[in-house]
Structure formats: structure tokens, C-alpha cells
Amino acid sequence: MLLHIPQVLAPQEISAMRQALDQADWTDGRETVGVQGAQVKRNEQLPDASPLREQLGQRILAALERNPLYFAAALPLRTVPPRFNRYQGGGEYGFHIDGSVMLTRAPDGRGQSIRSDVSCTLFLCEPDEYDGGELIISDTYGEHEVKLAAGDLVLYPSSSLHKVQPVTRGARLASFFWVQSMVRDDACRRLLFEMDTSLETLRATGADDAALVRLTGVYHNLLRRWAET
């Protein structure tokens, strides 16, 4: 499922992040990928050990916790701490598929493996600030071009082939991260998402309470059947 989630961050949050990132020390983005990815990746990232990365990442995670649409779509179980990248001067990232398992640190400091089910990109620049930089996601329906407003997020299956087009003017700033969902299968997540959002619409339009209770029960019974926790 490919989904656009608008206004994850408020304008004042974006402005504060941009000011901090403008002063940051960036490193070569190829340091965080394997041999194959390094052949097609030309961008900059905040180092994984950067205190700023952790600080800004916590702000993003807090914003996501307040976003019911994101929760309904991703059904997050574990999340790789958000990273930050910058594309400029022709920087690009050719077609690739994200790694299936990400290694990170649990809150107690131990190593933790996180399966990547859902990939997320949170845009931090307005589209007119740079030329190029479109996120191209390829699936069975063709290629989808994504270039969103600052503060908007796109999520899509981590199994998708995708790339970032060269940035030929300005700079493209974004945060990106991966989610291990409670529901591994993308088709099952889509069904649950469609049912959840339909239930919200029915509640808002005054649908029959007894029918809503039954349908809500169906949703939770399906989630109970498919969830891994």
C-alpha cells in the first residue's frame, strides 16, 4: 500500500528542524549501505551516532504517535530510529530495495533486529525549493512519482523497488525510517486499513451503532488473527 499522510509535522516543527539541519555536520550517505547500494547512492546523511539525529528523530516519533492515520496504515510494532538525508548538486539514489532486516539498538542498549515491512519518507522541504528529487516507487501498477509538501509523509511496502531522482537545483532534505508492522503481509494491512477508515466514516455519519459494534469486532478479530507481537 502506497499512502500519502499530510501534515505529520507542523510548520513551526519543520522550521526548527531545518535550522538545526542547516548547521549539522553531514557525512557521505554510502557509509550506511552495502556494496550494491553504494554503487547507486549519492547523497549525504546525518551520522548514526549524531546526537542531533537522535533528538530530531524523537520529535518525529512523537508526532507519529499523535497521528491516527499513520497508526492505522502502518500498525507499527517496532521502528528504526529516523535518519536524515540531503540531496544536492546532482545527488541521487538509483533503483534499489531496502534491506529486509535492520540492526539497531533497543532502549536498554542491546542490539535489536527489526524486519522492514514499511518504508517511510518524511519531506522537510517544499517542492519549489528544489528541482528533481522525486521519489519514484515501482510496483505492479507502474511507477509512482512522489514529491510532497514539507511535513508530509509517504509510506509504502519495503519490498518495493524505488529510487530518488537527481536534484539539479537547491537541496532536498528528508527523514526516512522503517517499520516492523504487527501485520507482516501488505495485503492484510491494506484490508485492515480500509476497514478502519471506513469504520471512522460510518461513525462520523451516524451509522447504526449495533452494526458498527459488529464490524469493529470483525476488524479486531482479523487483527488478532494476523498480528505478531
Q: Domain boundary at 144, 163, 181, which?
A: 181
Query: Residue 70 maps to which CATH number?
Result: 2.60.120.620
Same domain, 173 and 222: no
pLDDT score, position 22 = 95
Same domain, 196 and 118: no
Give the residue, 182 or 107, on which the prediction is more confident: 182
* pLDDT reading at 86 higher than 90: yes
Same domain, 177 and 100: yes
* pLDDT reading at 227 higher than 90: yes
Query: Residue 191 maps to which CATH number?
Result: 4.10.860.20
Same domain, 63 and 114: yes
Same domain, 195 and 163: no
pLDDT score, position 4 = 98
Same domain, 60 and 146: yes
Same domain, 22 and 92: yes
Give the long-range contacts of residues 113-117, CB within 8 A, separation 24 or more.
114/78, 114/79, 114/80, 114/178, 114/180, 115/180, 115/184, 116/80, 116/158, 116/178, 116/179, 116/180, 117/157, 117/158, 117/178, 117/179, 117/180, 117/181, 117/183, 117/184, 117/186, 117/189
Q: What is the span of the domain harbouring residue 222?
A: 186-226
Angle at 17 between CA 12 and CA 19, to 5 degrees: 95
- 78 bridge partner residues: 180
Mean predicted lDDT score pLDDT of the chain: 95
Task: Please compute, for residue 125, the number of CA atoms within 13 A of its CA located in the half-sphere on the CB side.
Answer: 23
Angle at 45 between CA 167 and CA 112, to 5 degrees: 135
Sequence-distant (6+) residues with CB within 8 A of 125 are 18, 150, 170, 171, 172, 173, 174
Same domain, 109 and 143: yes
* pLDDT reading at 163 higher than 80: yes
Give the residue, 132 or 103, on which the prediction is more confident: 132
Quote the CA–CA distance of 146 and 134 in Å, as a whole number: 6
Same domain, 131 and 201: no
How many domains is the chain partitioned into structurally?
Answer: 2
pLDDT score, position 37 = 65
In this predicted model, what pLDDT tens digit does every residue of 24-80 receive, in sequence order? 999 998 776 666 666 888 999 999 899 999 999 999 999 999 999 999 999 999 999
Same domain, 202 and 144: no
In this predicted model, what pLDDT tens digit does every residue of 201-220 receive, in sequence order? 999 999 999 999 999 999 99
Average pLDDT for 151-157 = 98
